[in-house]
Amino acid sequence: DIIDVKCKPSHESDNFGSEIIDSNIKSNDNNDEVELSDESPAGMYTANQSSQQRGDKDLTCKQFKCPICKKSFSRKVGIRHLRIHSDEKPFKCSLCEKSFNRKHILKAHLRIHTSEKPFECSFCKKSFTCHSSLIRHIRTHTNEKPYKCSFCEVAFTQKYHLHSHLRIHSNEEPFKCSLCNMSFKQKSNLNIHVRNHSNEKSFKCSLCNKLFSQKGTLTRHLHIHYDEKPFKCSICFKSFSQKSILTRHLRIHGNEKPFGCSICSKLFSRKSTLNTHLLVHNTEKPFKCAFCTKSYTQKHHLHGHKCIIKCEKAFKEDICS
């Protein structure tokens, strides 16, 4: 199959946006000592031609080695790469004061201000601000996963997803909290954790004004208002409002139980069920009755106990009357 990666033609209404981008890029030209563009021209790619195959030619001539991480490069991109280590971001947006370490990222960012999306998918006509986003999107149509894990053979559509996955094998946690010294495998998890310190809830529901600390939690919450269930099971065609619920549901079909007890090796399909089971081993009973001295390992057991108390009380009152 042929994938036609098209760049949409520019219209007169887009000229103002293009002028803004050109003006910003020119003002940053002095910072552009060594910079390669991500804005590839319109071209033709075959669906079965992986990113790794397209890069085979480059892999044979890597001459430049980074003195910090020892990575090699096929072209003189050392200065650009070193910005990753130094956290240098010389390319500044004059509209919102954000900074970037690469010129093409600034250029893509500027299209947020101008609403330009020149890169169009030939499959579904969806448009994107940068070429690399289009290529990643096309892989959802072709199911191409060029980035493979050498440990467990899991494959990914994006390189950074592979890097994140590899931390599971290496147990590396490079993202550290400056407030409590906790560390995380993913930067997104660190960001969520930091919000817990400040109790920051910056994501607001426009329908009920409820606040959330995570954008994903807000998105899942919105499904309740719209009664949306976009995640469908391919086996029994049940629909779910959240991807995580669909994932749990799929374990029923596959009889998958990925959560194991470290004490008795019992397996569970849900992490929450494992956590409940662990209370059996440590004899912890956190759910205490407010009416008597009884306590329970599980919340629903306490709820059942309260119902019994209420029924008994009602029965006694009925006899007395």
CA distance 32 to 64: 19
Q: How many domains does the chain have?
A: 3
Please write the tens of the pLDDT for every residue from 216-246: 888 888 888 877 788 888 888 888 887 878 8
Token pair 């892989």: residue: 139
What is the DSSP secondary-structure string of 55-69? THHHHTT--EE-TTT
d(CA 311, CA 306): 9
User: Residue 101: helix, strand or coil by DSSP?
Assistant: coil
Q: Which is more confident, 239 or 310?
A: 239
Please check whether residues 17 and 134 belong to one and the same domain: yes
Looking at the structure, tell me whether residues 296 and 262 fall in a common domain.
no
Identity of the residue numbered 305: H
| pTM metric for this prediction | 0.41
Question: Mean pLDDT for the chain?
Answer: 76
Note whether 20 and 82 are same-domain residues.
Answer: yes
* Alpha helices per DSSP H over 265-320: 271-282, 299-320
Q: What is the pLDDT of residue 149?
A: 92
157 within domain boundaries: no
Give the pair of three-digit tokens for residue 239: 């629909």
CB neighbour burial string for 147-174, b if at least 16 within 10 angstroms, e if fewer: beeeeeeeebbbeeebeebeeeeeeeee
CATH number of the domain where residue 214 is located: 3.30.160.60
Residue with tokens 């008597």: 292
Residues 290, 265 share a domain: no
pLDDT band with cut points at 50, 70 and 90 for residue 148: very high
In a domain, 119, yes or no: yes
Q: Tens digits of per-residue pLDDT, 134-146?
A: 998 999 899 899 9
| Whether residue 113 is found in the same domain as residue 212 | no
Phi, psi at 222, each rounded to 5°: -60, -30
Residue found under tokens 């970037």: 100
Percent of the chain surpassing pLDDT 70: 74
Domain span including residue 297 = 285-320
